[in-house]
A and B are shown apart, each in its own frame.
Chain A
Amino acid sequence: GAGVSQSPSNKVTEKGKDVELRCDPISGHTALYWYRQSLGQGLEFLIYFQGNSAPDKSGLPSDRFSAERTGGSVSTLTIQRTQQEDSAVYLCASEGILNTEAFFGQGTRLTVV
């Protein structure tokens, strides 16, 4: 596809379970970002991948959160032992080498019950 694709669109999970959220960036984009949008909050930066460099994990809220990017393309955000406060929309964005604009996916709405 032409845009950033995220799956699943919606995820309901039980408290304490692990979840994986997937992001397919725009082909050829070297930078990939994860954000979280909680109810009533703005977007909160989580993690950033640039090419083969070590990721910038400065926004991850706890060690239950991790992300990887395989082959410089697809990225997976993993939340272990989910808590109710993890309920949010998780957005992924990618950016080309010219760094002019980040393109966002449609998001994954995570609900922890």
Chain B
Amino acid sequence: AQRVTQPEKLLSVFKGAPVELKCNYSYSGSPELFWYVQYSRQRLQLLLRHISRESIKGFTADLNKGETSFHLKKPFAQEEDSAMYYCALSPSGNTGKLIFGQGTTLQVKP
């Protein structure tokens, strides 16, 4: 079955600490993976996708096919990073038809 798992509902770190938001997926083919972010009172927006290999707002994510993971990392968390983060998988290459994880709330404390 196609599935995205984000094991942590809440991740709380202090400002300046490293952050790693975990995402594991279950998919038999070559998936396309995304991280979406929703800041307080804002709409859901794309943060990054694995094929672009970009670093957005200091965040990076590497697709590890062996471990079927796509963890989101940032070396030094900022308070403005506090938000809900969703990992998502596109099974068909369709970037809008996505299977989402349940989300992780990142709380960055001052």
Bound together, the chains give a CA A25 to CA B5 distance in angstroms of 29
CB neighbours (8 Å) of B43 from chain A are 3-4, 104-107
Q: Is the CB of A45 within 8 A of B97?
A: yes
A56 touches B97 (CB 8 A): yes
Give the residue name and chain of the B residue nearest to A59 (CB): B97
Does chain B have a CB within 8 A of A12? no
A43 touches B96 (CB 8 A): no
| B100 and A95 form a contact (CB under 8 A) | no
Q: How many chain-A residues does the 8 Å CB contact rule pick out?
A: 26
Q: Are A33 and B45 touching (Cβ within 8 A)?
A: no
Chain B residues in 8 Å Cβ range of A33: 96-97
Shortest distance from the beta carbon of B65 to any chain A beta carbon, whole Å? 22
Interface residues of B in 2-47 (CB under 8 A from A): 4, 6, 43-46
Residues of chain A from 1 to 57 with CB closer than 8 A to chain B in the complex: 3-4, 31, 33, 35, 40-45, 48, 56
B99 surroundings in chain A (CB, below 8 A): 45
Residues in A neighbouring B64, C-beta threshold 8 A: none
User: Is the CB–CB distance between A101 and B97 below 8 Å?
Assistant: no
CB A45 to nearest CB in B, in angstroms, measures: 6
Write out the residue numbers on chain A whose beta carbons fall within 8 Å of the beta carbon of B102. Answer: 40-42
Q: Which residues of B contact A56 (CB under 8 A)?
A: 97
Which residues of A come within 8 Å of B, CB atoms?
3-4, 31, 33, 35, 40-45, 48, 56, 91, 93-95, 99-107
7 A/B residue pairs, CB under 8 Å, sorted by A:
A3-B43, A35-B100, A42-B4, A99-B95, A102-B96, A104-B45, A106-B43
